[in-house]
Amino acid sequence: MMRPGPFALILALALATPGGAADGPGAGGDAARATLDAAGQDSCRAQGKKLCVGVRSHSRPFSYRSERMIDVATHAALGPLGRDRYTGYVIKICDAVLTEMVSADPELGIDDIGVFDIDEARRNGRAAGGDIRFTGLGAEFDILCDPATITNERRVDLVVSAPIYLTGISYITPRDFGPPQSACGTRGLIGMVGQTTAQSYGLSALIEAQELPAYKSVLVATQRGTVVCAQEGDPYEELQAALDKVVAETAAAARVAAGKDEATEEAPEPTAPANLAQLPDIRPVRIYDSHDAAARDFCSKQFHYYLGDREIIREQADAIPGCEFDGGVETYTEDRYAIFGKAMQDVAVCSRVSKWQARALAVLTPSAFESLAAAFGTEGKATCEAGAAIDIERRLRVASFFEILARKTLGYPSLLDQAYEETFQDTPKSDKLKTFFRNVRGTPRNR
């Protein structure tokens, strides 16, 4: 393995405490791992990869899977992620860092880096139990290369890069598709992807900005979890009454079966309402598992307003042939993307304790090594017996990733500028985005 820099060593040492915050976004890794394994996920961890990266297949223009094996627009060199046809602004940043890691580390080849597709896991029902982007981080992959917003909760127990992009929540509407007369109809009012900042506070942002004022009461009620779109005399009232009847009949049948009540000839067998499957979906807000599904429904006019991060919703809709839309110009929040990391735990590390000790002695001062050894136990027994063994080499690679990322961000030309030009090409940066880039990496030249 390459000789890590001082920043990487300090970061690896800081991450060395087994366990971590129990309620952070990376917590529950064992549960997430069990859920995914039980569902048959051929995980990156199970394949024995030395570094695993979480990516998205439907989050244009930041992280998605392309139909092509080459970057036609820029002919950029393909890194470990690009070889699997993943591309986008965040992917290009991660690929540049991973490519440098491979070239600098003789023990890390391109085939040693695995990919975990988050959207694929969601599509196949393997992502139960919270936001898999963060429950899976540290359980199924080490680095999250995804347009993920920095929040207070996501800074707990995780490595977080400096901000890499500035965006905000916006919405678009199909062209020549007038506003609905009612928020309650067979076509939804708003569509968004679940487990995103759009779902967390997108509706609040619209309410505070006085957007869509005609539907404010419905948005407020939806935000509070109040049932909306059910009026007296409509088919949903009839359905609710029928369901209540089924519950009562089922309870009565259970009491008879338990011998608590005597059976009566009049007692009917519980049956579901005949019209249950016939009722249309009139929810005002539709939640989707992926932007791909949301964009397809939006472009087929299944709902009126597509809510989400500005660049993502525009790119996703634009990728569907014949989909014309308006809006998506103004943003109602300021969200900063970052890359997140948390090394996976490796129960097989016990057999390699002497190996990491030898390498650590070569790069650490005696006092630093003693601190590191104390954290794991001199022979590694304490962590192994606790079932929470730490893979030092994996942690050092994660730390090296963020060290290289920080250096390439501040270098000239900045990795952020390179990724932007390759992704957005002739699209100029807004004044707000120019200011953001300048604040993160400094001015592009001496003045």
DSSP 206-242: HHHTT-SGGGHHHHHHHHTT---S--TTSHHHHHHHH
* CB of 34 closer than 8 Å to CB of 139: no
The Cβ-side half-sphere exposure at 33, using a 13 Å CA radius, reads 17
Helices and strands of the chain, counted as H and E runs: 16, 14
Per-residue DSSP letters for 27-43? --HHHHHHHHHHTT---
Its CATH architecture, for the domain 6-166+338-346+392-441, is 3-Layer(aba) Sandwich (3.40)
Cβ-based neighbours of 236, under 8 Å, separated by 6 or more: 229, 230, 279, 282
CB atoms within 10 A of CB 227: 9
CB atoms within 10 A of CB 185: 16
DSSP class of residue 95 equals: H
pLDDT tens digit at each of 447 positions of the chain: 555 554 454 454 444 443 333 344 444 444 444 444 433 345 787 788 999 999 999 999 999 998 876 555 554 567 899 999 999 999 999 999 999 999 999 999 999 999 999 998 888 876 555 688 998 999 899 999 999 999 988 988 899 999 999 999 999 999 988 888 888 877 889 999 988 889 888 999 999 999 999 999 888 888 887 766 755 445 555 555 655 666 666 667 766 666 666 666 555 555 554 554 455 666 789 999 899 999 999 999 999 999 999 999 999 999 999 999 999 888 999 999 999 999 987 544 444 444 444 444 444 445 554 554 555 444 433 344 444 445 788 889 999 999 999 999 998 889 999 999 999 988 888 899 999 999 998 876 655
The model carries a pTM of 0.73
Its CATH architecture, for the domain 169-229+282-332, is 3-Layer(aba) Sandwich (3.40)
| The Cα angle at residue 349 between residues 343 and 355, in degrees rounded to 5 | 110
**Three-state DSSP class for residue 55:** strand
Rounded distance between C-alpha atoms, residue 4 and residue 196, angstroms = 34
DSSP class of residue 105 equals: -
Rounded distance between C-alpha atoms, residue 282 and residue 72, angstroms = 43
| β-strand pairing of 159-160 with 335-341 | antiparallel
